[in-house]
C-alpha cells in the first residue's frame, strides 16, 4: 500500500510520485513550504531582533519620533505581491493541466457507493480495482448512487468529489507500473474508512489482455457464483455438503432464519449475504468466531456478489 504513512516508514516525506502531475504539485508545495519558512524567519526573527535592539532600557529613554519611509513600505508590499502572483500563476498552470484531460484519454466510468468503488469499462467489463495501462492518459467519469464521496489517489496527487446526480471527472497519466491505494476522502457513513480500492497500472499489452478477457463470457450468474466459490476461496471454510467447517455450511441455508451470537434472528436473504461478504463482523452467526472470515470488500464486484447469491440459492 502506498499511502502517506508508508511514505514516512520508507523515509520519504511524500507518497511516491506516480504521475507527472505529482512532480509539479510537489514542486509547488515545496516552494510554498520553503518560501513560508524564509518569510517566517525574516518576520519573526526581525521582530525579535528589533524588540531587543530598540527596547526601552531605562526610564530616561525617550520614545523616539516615528518616521515613515514610502520606499520601504512600497517594497515590503510589492515584493510579496510579486511572489503571490508568481505562486498564483504557477498554481493556475498546474490546475489547468489537471482540469483538462487530453482528447484521446482512455475513459473509465466510476460508480461510488456506500462503501465501495466500481469501475466500468466500455467493453462492459466491471472491476472493483481500477486497472489501467501505464503511460496512457486515463479519464475517469464519476458519479455516486447515494451520498457524497471523494476519489483520492495520494500517489497520483489527484482528488475529486464524486457527487450523486451529476458527473465529475478527473484524469491522470501514470508513469509508474504498480499498485496504488485509492481512498474515499469525503466522510460518507459508518464504513467510510473501508471504502478502499487499488489502482493497478499494467504495461499496455498486459492491460489489453486483461481488458480483452471477459472471464465470465457465456457463463450464467449461477456458473459465475460456482466459479467464485472456489476461485475466491470460500470453499476453504464453507462446505456445500451440510457439514460445517471453519465457517457454516451453505447447504439449504438460503431463505432460512439464522441465529446470531447476540441472540437475534435474521433472515438469510440477499442483503444478509451481501453484508456478510463485505463486512463479515456486522452479524456473526451463533457458534462461530468473529474475525475469522476476511472481508471481500474491494475484491468482489456487485455482479460477483450477485452471482454468489445465486449460487447460494441453488444449494437446496
Residues found near Cu ion in the complex (CB under 5 A): 149, 184, 188, 195
Match 456473526 to its residue by C-alpha cell: 284
Question: Binding segment for ligand HEC among 53-61, 114-122, 164-172, 289-297 (CB under 6 A)?
Answer: 289-297
Of 110, 130, 293, 315, the one binding ligand HEC by CB under 6 A: 293
Q: Does 133 bind ligand HEC (CB under 6 A)?
A: no
> Pairing mode, if any, of strands 158-162 and 130-133?
unpaired
CB of 113 to Cu ion, least distance (A): 8
Residues 6+ apart with CB under 8 A from 224: 216, 303, 304, 307, 310
CA atoms lying within 13 Å on the CB side of residue 33: 7
Angle between helices 302-314 and 221-231 (to 10 degrees): 100
CB of 294 to ligand HEC, least distance (A): 6
Q: Does 308 bind ligand HEC (CB under 6 A)?
A: yes
Residue 248 interaction partner, one of ligand HEC, Cu ion, none, beta carbon < 5-8 Å per kind:
ligand HEC
Of 6, 176, 288, 295, the one binding ligand HEC by CB under 6 A: 288
> Among candidates 251, 260, 257, which has minimal Cα distance to 288?
260
Judged by CB, which is closer to ligand HEC: 248, or 298? 248
For the purposes of burial, counting CB atoms within 10 Å of the CB of 141, is it exposed (0-12), middle (13-18) or buried (19 or more)? Answer: middle
Q: Does 154 bind ligand HEC (CB under 6 A)?
A: no
CA distance 63 to 37: 33
> Among candidates 251, 226, 217, 244, which has minimal Cα distance to 311?
226
Question: Binding segment for ligand HEC among 78-86, 162-170, 182-190, 291-299 (CB under 6 A)?
Answer: 291-299
Please give the size of the binding site for ligand HEC, defined by CB under 6 A: 24
The distance of Cα 226 from the centroid of its chain, to the nearest Å, equals 31
Residues 6+ apart with CB under 8 A from 115: 184, 188, 189, 190, 191, 192, 194, 195, 278, 297
Q: Does 238 bind ligand HEC (CB under 6 A)?
A: yes
Residues 6+ apart with CB under 8 A from 168: 142, 143, 160, 161, 162
Q: Does 258 bind ligand HEC (CB under 6 A)?
A: yes
Of 15, 154, 248, 298, the one binding ligand HEC by CB under 6 A: 248
Q: Does 21 bind ligand HEC (CB under 6 A)?
A: no
Residues 6+ apart with CB under 8 A from 194: 115, 279, 295, 297
What residues from 173 to 202 belong to the interface with ligand HEC (CB under 6 A)? none
Of 13, 38, 236, 286, the one binding ligand HEC by CB under 6 A: 236
Judged by CB, which is closer to ligand HEC: 189, or 233? 233
Q: Does 280 bind ligand HEC (CB under 6 A)?
A: yes
Binding site for ligand HEC (CB under 6 A): 232-234, 236-238, 246-248, 253, 258, 268, 273, 276-277, 280, 284-285, 288, 290, 292-293, 296, 308
Amino acid at each position: 500500500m502506498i499511502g502517506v504513512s508508508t511514505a514516512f516508514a520508507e523515509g520519504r516525506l511524500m507518497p511516491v510520485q506516480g504521475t507527472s502531475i505529482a512532480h509539479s504539485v510537489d514542486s509547488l508545495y515545496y516552494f510554498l513550504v520553503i518560501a513560508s519558512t524564509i518569510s517566517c524567519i525574516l518576520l519573526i526573527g526581525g521582530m525579535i531582533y528589533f524588540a531587543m535592539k530598540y527596547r526601552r532600557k531605562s526610564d530616561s529613554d525617550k520614545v523616539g519620533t516615528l518616521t515613515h519611509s514610502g520606499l520601504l513600505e512600497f517594497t515590503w508590499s510589492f515584493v510579496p505581491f510579486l511572489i503571490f502572483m508568481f505562486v498564483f500563476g504557477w498554481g493556475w498552470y498546474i490546475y489547468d493541466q489537471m482540469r483538462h484531460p487530453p482528447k484521446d484519454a482512455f475513459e473509465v466510468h466510476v460508480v461510488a457507493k456506500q462503501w465501495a468503488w466500481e469501475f466500468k469499462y466500455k467493453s462492459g467489463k466491471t472491476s472493483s480495482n481500477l486497472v489501467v495501462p501505464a503511460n496512457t492518459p486515463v479519464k475517469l467519469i464519476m458519479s455516486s448512487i447515494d451520498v457524497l464521496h471523494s476519489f483520492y489517489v495520494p500517489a497520483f496527487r489527484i482528488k475529486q468529489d464524486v457527487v450523486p446526480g451529476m458527473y465529475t471527472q478527473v484524469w491522470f497519466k501514470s508513469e509508474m507500473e504498480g499498485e496504488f491505494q485509492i481512498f474515499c476522502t469525503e466522510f460518507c457513513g459508518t464504513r467510510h474508512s473501508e471504502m478502499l480500492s487499488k489502482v493497478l497500472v499494467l504495461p499496455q499489452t498486459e492491460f489489453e489482455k486483461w481488458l480483452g478477457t471477459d472471464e465470465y463470457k457465456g457463463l450464467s450468474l449461477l456458473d459465475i457464483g460456482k466459479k467464485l466459490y472456489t476461485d475466491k476461496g470460500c470453499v476453504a471454510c464453507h462446505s456445500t455438503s451440510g457439514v460445517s467447517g471453519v465457517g457454516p455450511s451453505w447447504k439449504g441455508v438460503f431463505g432460512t432464519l439464522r441465529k446470531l451470537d447476540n441472540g437475534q434472528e435474521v433472515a438469510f436473504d440477499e442483503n444478509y449475504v451481501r453484508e456478510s461478504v463485505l463486512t463479515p463482523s456486522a452479524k456473526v452467526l451463533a457458534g462461530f468466531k468473529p474475525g475469522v472470515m476476511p472481508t471481500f470488500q474491494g475484491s468482489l464486484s456487485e455482479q460477483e456478489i450477485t452471482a454468489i447469491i445465486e449460487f447460494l440459492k441453488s444449494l437446496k
